[in-house]
Amino acid sequence: MALTLTPLRGIPLIQPGDDLPTMINAALAETELKLQDGDILVLAQKIVSKAEGRLVNLTTVTPGDRAMGYAEVTGKDPRLLELILSESRKVLRTREGLIIVEHNLGFVSANAGIDHSNVSGDWGDPEDWVLLLPEDPDRSSASIRSALEDTCGCRLGVLIIDSHGRAWRNGTVGTTIGLSGLPGLVDLRGESDLFNYHLRATLVGAADELAAAASLMMGQAAEATPVVHVRGFPYALREGGLQELLRPEERDLFR
Amino acid sequence: MALTLTPLRGIPLIQPGDDLPTMINAALAETELKLQDGDILVLAQKIVSKAEGRLVNLTTVTPGDRAMGYAEVTGKDPRLLELILSESRKVLRTREGLIIVEHNLGFVSANAGIDHSNVSGDWGDPEDWVLLLPEDPDRSSASIRSALEDTCGCRLGVLIIDSHGRAWRNGTVGTTIGLSGLPGLVDLRGESDLFNYHLRATLVGAADELAAAASLMMGQAAEATPVVHVRGFPYALREGGLQELLRPEERDLFR
């Protein structure tokens, strides 16, 4: 059995208030794909955030003292920093051009996931618009999944991903920020290996592996293919959530 | 265009000295796949290490003082720690049951990638055998690629992966330890976005995204499908190497 990832054709530029499930169903038809039990749809964070109206115009933001302080360290726009701080629990690292935080949602990311590219609101200078992450990506996933399941009458998974940098390694990789209907982690502990005398001690970050896979097919420079259809995910679907994938600070040696 | 990942059927348990390209060609035939230009083969580290004879019996290892010290902190076998230290440049973190190092090859991993499961030599207690990583996984990739390209007369990529833990997040993900014939990183900087007024600042860890994707299809508990065939990788193939993916310590905020 193969794993097949197909970017959907024909997803238009998303506007606030757009109904993503309807657009995904249209794009599935255009791509000549018919949903079936066990399929997963992977969505770029950006289209979910836009549909949910998470655009902010920087001219409406007044930076506070903390933001002004981080602006000196990082050289970033203090209004952007004000938004980053309001989206974060904690600042982990800063240097020129970089701020890495623990997001309110619990994961670690640069700029609290706030994005500047492929973004514009409907007034003022397009350069002033930025996009926050969805308020609750697990909830967004569940809602999109429910609408798609209603249409197809089948059991699906929905995964929302963003591109994250990593400790130790160069390059961003697609990473889970929300999910519904599939496992975040898969616990292989207790399964014996081929020689039957070891018990494995492995927790697999299955949703993040799928996030990385789908990210490959999304095209990064343009927002061309923000939805990827997945068939052949090898683990059993179940209810899941972002929290599974987040290591609590007290168990993290690198925070 | 879709990305398709197919685990190869019929790869036997690998023994030291086995010729992997021959076995992969047989497995491709059994899986009814014919290689073509642009295909990539992703190999689990374990079969490459075994073929290269990287098995070590712990009864042949004499732990030194440093290993004895780390044994007290971690509770791990001091002979295993001696091997971990000899495979590493630097110990980054330790605690009960855990040692995270900078491997001689440059990446950060637990236990220097030394593996205990699905491993046995041909004498003594099977529990005493462990498996080191390949000595030079880029070189191993290049050699396997060259043999496969000779047989098929087409242009391929070869990627060797291992399961790595991560900072901040639970669960292991497939991660590149060696490659040949494909990009480690893809530089999207300078490509404009859909609105044509932002230039992206994104370096994509493309090989690591593919490593994670392939890992999904390898089956973790048993060494059942250690080779995955990939068709539809979306970036142009070129020469590449592990070094692209490794952030130098002086530019790393989390080491």
**Could you report the per-residue pLDDT of B101-144, keeping only the tens digit for each?**
999 999 999 999 998 877 888 899 988 999 999 999 999 999 99
Q: How many residues does chain B have?
A: 255
Q: List strand residue ranges (DSSP E) for B97-143, in order.
A: 98-103, 108-110, 129-131
Per-residue tokens: B228: 């995955």
The minimum CA-CA distance between B197 and chain A, rounded to whole Å, is 8
Domain boundaries, chain B: 4-52+134-238, 55-131
**Could you report the per-residue pLDDT of B57-73, keeping only the tens digit for each?**
999 999 999 999 999 99
Instruction: Let me know: does B112 contact B98? Beta carbons within 8 Å.
Output: no
**Could you report the per-residue pLDDT of B14-54, keeping only the tens digit for each?**
999 999 999 999 999 999 999 999 999 999 999 999 999 99
* CATH code of the region A4-53+137-238: 3.30.1330.100
The minimum CA-CA distance between A106 and chain B, rounded to whole Å, is 9
A183-213 burial by CB neighbour count: b if 16+ within 10 A, else e?
bbbbebeeeebebeebebebbbbbbbbbbbb
The minimum CA-CA distance between B193 and chain A, rounded to whole Å, is 5
Cβ neighbours of B118 in A, within 8 Å: 193-195, 198
CB contact under 8 A, A168 and B246: yes
The residue type of A40 is: I
Cβ neighbours of B168 in A, within 8 Å: 107-108, 167, 246-247, 252, 254-255
**Matching CATH number, A55-131, of 3.40.50.720, 3.40.50.300, 3.30.70.2740, 3.90.1660.10:** 3.90.1660.10
Which residue of chain B is at minimal alpha-carbon distance from A4?
Answer: B4
Measure the CA dihedral B135/B139/B140/B143, to 10°: -150
Which residue of B119, B173, B176, B245 to mutate against A (max A Cβ within 10 Å)?
B173
Round to whole Å and give the CA distance between A29 and B202: 32
Tell me if chain A has a CB within 8 Å of the CB of B5: yes
Compute φ and ψ for A5, nearest 5 degrees: -115, 120
Tell me if chain B has a CB within 8 Å of the CB of A60: no
Q: How many CB atoms lie within 10 A of CB A1?
A: 10
Round to whole Å and give the CA distance between A227 and B156: 28
Q: Which residue has the tokens 């950006």?
A: A46
CB contact under 8 A, A93 and B163: no
Per-residue tokens: A168: 């130790």
**Could you report the per-residue pLDDT of A125-179, keeping only the tens digit for each?**
988 999 999 999 999 999 999 999 999 999 999 999 999 999 999 999 999 999 9
Per-residue tokens: B26: 């047989």
Using CA atoms, how far residue A13 sits from A163, B36, B193, in Å, is 19, 35, 12
Nearest CB among B5, B119, B170 relative to A246 is that of B170
Nearest CB among B100, B116, B208 relative to A169 is that of B208
Per-residue tokens: A20: 């993503």
Helix axes B206-216, A206-216, angle to 10 degrees: 130
What is the model's pLDDT at position B121? 86
For the entire predicted model, the pTM comes to: 0.96
Nearest CB among B4, B7, B208 relative to A4 is that of B4
Concatenated DSSP letters of chain A:
--EEEEEPS-PPPP-TT--HHHHHHHHHHHTT----TT-EEEEEHHHHHHHTT-EEEGGG----HHHHHHHHHH---HHHHHHHHHTEEEEEEEETTEEEEEETTS-EEEGGG-B-TT---SSS-GGGEEEPPPS-HHHHHHHHHHHHHHHH-S--EEEEEEEE--SSB-SBEEEEEEEESS-SSEE-TT-B-TTSS-B---EE-HHHHHHHHHHHTT-SSS-S--EEEEE---S------GGGGBPPGGG-S--
Mean pLDDT across chain B, nearest whole number? 93
Nearest CB among A210, A220, A222 relative to B204 is that of A220
Cβ neighbours of A217 in B, within 8 Å: 2-3, 234
Say how many CB pairs under 8 Å bridge A and B.
242
Superfamily of domain B4-52+134-238: CofE-like (3.30.1330.100)
Nearest CB among B169, B192, B209 relative to A216 is that of B209
* Range of lowest pLDDT (A222-231, A234-243, B17-26, B141-150): A222-231
Tell me if chain A has a CB within 8 Å of the CB of B183: no
